[in-house]
Structure 1
């Protein structure tokens, strides 16, 4: 991994206000100009907006109605709102910390972790969690893309086509990424990301408007679906992880901000925060109507993917599933790019491989192939959301930025900043402990009736 934070060359000059100069060797400059995160810094504030929308509004929004069913009206609304506020606060912290040291930019999550916790400890704390999140999201999006393609096929064909296994649709979805994964950096996927952001707003709107059109279902029940208290508690835990999964953009926030130009007079945090605010408004417009209306219309019988519960009008639901496919294509790339950066950094900086097209071609194709294979083996959408949401998303989204803030800035004990951060840490740790339990139970339940490569 790259352990050196970027210096004053990011300001477009060879020196910064504190007199430091760019001390990189020619080879280091060539490598940084080749790596995905640092090769392009000409993004505008609206790039931040749609990259963050694409990173956040994804598969998670489709699972929110079922999360509401597992949580109940009161707890569900509270968890959704508190998560929105807490994650907006922790994302603001990350934006602020990107350039806290004059002449440096923490372009990667683990670089900020190293500044807070030390060179080695920072890597050990941040990198495993970030990799679990990003690889986990890519696996879930492989499943989501395959499921949505299958749903689109089944709706369009009706009874006139032969049934095709989900496995093949996941492979079709993966084939797109065997091509797109060779785009070199974040700015090169901006068009894909913009299309994905528009699609996320589109299919979210379709999900709740089609639910309203269908109306409240007969014999609807809003009570907990599990028949015993133990099952209800585990489902509650799983739902917490599903909500945590829905607020996941922090894992690529610093990498997105790294693409924005910066000068001492106009630091990148200005346009980045502007984009984040716009993104969070879009998140609220997507999440709250889908979660509340979906649960209101279907009660506790709602599917773990709201679009699966909807059948008519056929053309509209088929279109919505196609929107989902386009969106998760962009989301996959947003989360894969930092992973590519980590892999390529290790290969060229630690193992001394020469930066080349062939190196990139092999590593990225292998990565896409592995995520495809795991998705085919474990296509359990609801359980995967809960498990990954709690196990890795809670730390990197809910409380790791708060721990870094306390470590670096050391706010006065019992001050508003100190109290706020500790509340976020306590809530995040509780979420991290309980939600993977519910998610793992859901995966085990689903696995009982599943046939591999079906």
Structure 2
């Protein structure tokens, strides 16, 4: 009887909620499919970089504790955002809509700018990852060096654009989420197994944090941004928009899945990779491992194609914005709709590809993205929006807790941004534009 009442009440509330206009489907996906969307983001090919970009600058103690704390804090912050999805009698299917509803037009524009930066840089990183995987595959079979990294990045960008044309919206991923999961299992299993084999056969490794005292400070701060970048999308309301009713309850199920079962593969490959190679671990783990060429090639190819699928998830808010603005709806194969996707999405990804080839410094992108957008969107805004929305219902201690979070992550965001910009400046001097890393 209780379940029937809850079902009735949820549908009654849904009828009363103001539904926003969108050209994409909403409320069509099960919580399990949404959980796989979230888990795809966590265990994307980025996972092959965290041993080098988080563990090396932080070391064993701070690296392990940092990853676990980032997991718990990220679950908490995302839960705050999820619970505001139906706030004030409206469904907020876009992050900027929620911020604009709570704060006003200026906050709407600022949030959209932060989110655009966040998603643009994540997409850029995915193209770099895909290009790096392609280059790593080429190197396994040829030592001529004719296929440079910038060329591989261009190829990766073209494949991403083709996929974006074929998949009209986030909910249409469907079976591709299953394909993505299989691909993730392949490169994570290979990275874990070969790292474990190398670690068991290798001499003692050096786990000391490299660099001078000054550089250690900046790399440590930058690594904290990578910690939060690993778990957060910066587009939770957009993902939540696709989930079936009851929206909040189902989204919480998806988040619990993401931050429990979903993080296990990440932990396995990150900790094993660092254990096996110490402070010589690279920003792309498959460059460290030793094993049969065909096994490493399979893992690299899997990382390449999984990056293509994962990029589509993080590009979907931009696609939704453009499709809604220009009235692109209906049959996805209609000439108008297909042409629009080819020209507009293709142009967007062409610019992403250009930036990726221009500055292929993957670790620096992760640090800067975490600093200037993941920190503000996931932690600062989440805590402050929840505080504003529920101010009258919170105790003094709860209010103090949220304000402490706002202030702490505000300071961390500024510090991490400075550290990331310094890293980019240093790497820009070391490597030329369109570098073949």
Q: Indicate the residue corresponding to 1:7 in structure 2.
A: none
Map 1:300-339 → 2, pairs under 5 A = 300-339=279-318
Q: Indicate the residue corresponding to 2:254 in structure 1.
A: 275
Partners of 1:429 and 1:59 in 2: CA distance: 29
Map 1:54-453 → 2, pairs under 5 A = 54-66=40-52, 67-102=54-89, 104-118=90-104, 120-155=105-140, 157-159=141-143, 163-182=146-165, 183-215=167-199, 217-218=202-203, 220-226=205-211, 228-249=212-233, 251-262=234-245, 267-348=246-327, 356-410=337-391, 411-415=393-397, 417-453=398-434
Partners of 1:452 and 1:311 in 2: CA distance: 30
Contact 1:58 1:246 in 2 (8 A): no
Deviations 1:11-67 (A, max 9, x none): 99xx9559859799xxx6xxx3xx23xx34321121111111122333442222121
Deviations 1:305-334 (A, max 9, x none): 222211323322222222211221111000
* Distance of aligned partners of 1:237 and 1:19 in 2 relative to their CA distance in 1, 3 Å threshold: closer
| Structure with the higher helix share, 1 or 2 | 2
Partners of 1:106 and 1:21 in 2: CA distance: 10
Partners of 1:372 and 1:347 in 2: CA distance: 24
* Distance of aligned partners of 1:269 and 1:18 in 2 relative to their CA distance in 1, 3 Å threshold: closer
* Distance of aligned partners of 1:441 and 1:44 in 2 relative to their CA distance in 1, 3 Å threshold: same
Deviations 1:113-162 (A, max 9, x none): 112212x023133111111110110001110000011111222x144x65
Contact 2:164 2:341 in 1 (8 A): no
Helix, strand or coil at the partner of 1:221: coil
* Distance of aligned partners of 1:397 and 1:165 in 2 relative to their CA distance in 1, 3 Å threshold: same
Q: CA RMSD in A?
A: 2.6
Helix, strand or coil at the partner of 1:72: helix
- 1:43 pairs with 2:43: no
Partners of 1:181 and 1:403 in 2: CA distance: 35
Q: Indicate the residue corresponding to 1:6 in structure 2.
A: none
Partners of 2:19 and 2:125 in 1: CA distance: 41
Q: Indicate the residue corresponding to 2:331 in structure 1.
A: none
Partners of 2:133 and 2:337 in 1: CA distance: 35
Contact 2:17 2:86 in 1 (8 A): no
Report how far residue 346 of structure 1 moved. Answer: 3.9
Partners of 1:21 and 1:426 in 2: CA distance: 33
Partners of 2:13 and 2:119 in 1: CA distance: 36
Partners of 2:13 and 2:57 in 1: CA distance: 54
Partners of 2:250 and 2:56 in 1: CA distance: 38
Report how far residue 407 of structure 1 moved. Answer: 0.8
Partners of 1:170 and 1:287 in 2: CA distance: 25
Contact 2:139 2:145 in 1 (8 A): no
Partners of 1:446 and 1:59 in 2: CA distance: 22
Deviations 1:223-274 (A, max 9, x none): 1110x2101111112211221221222x222112211232xxxx12222222
Contact 2:18 2:91 in 1 (8 A): no
Aligned residues between the structures: 417
Partners of 2:396 and 2:188 in 1: CA distance: 41
Report how far residue 356 of structure 1 moved. Answer: 4.3
Helix, strand or coil at the partner of 2:174: helix
Contact 1:45 1:271 in 2 (8 A): yes
Partners of 2:16 and 2:229 in 1: CA distance: 41
Report how far residue 357 of structure 1 moved. Answer: 4.0
Q: What TM-score, normalized by structure 2, do the two folds share?
A: 0.88
Contact 1:40 1:185 in 2 (8 A): no
> What runs of 5+ residues in structure 2 fail to find an aligned partner?
1-6, 329-335
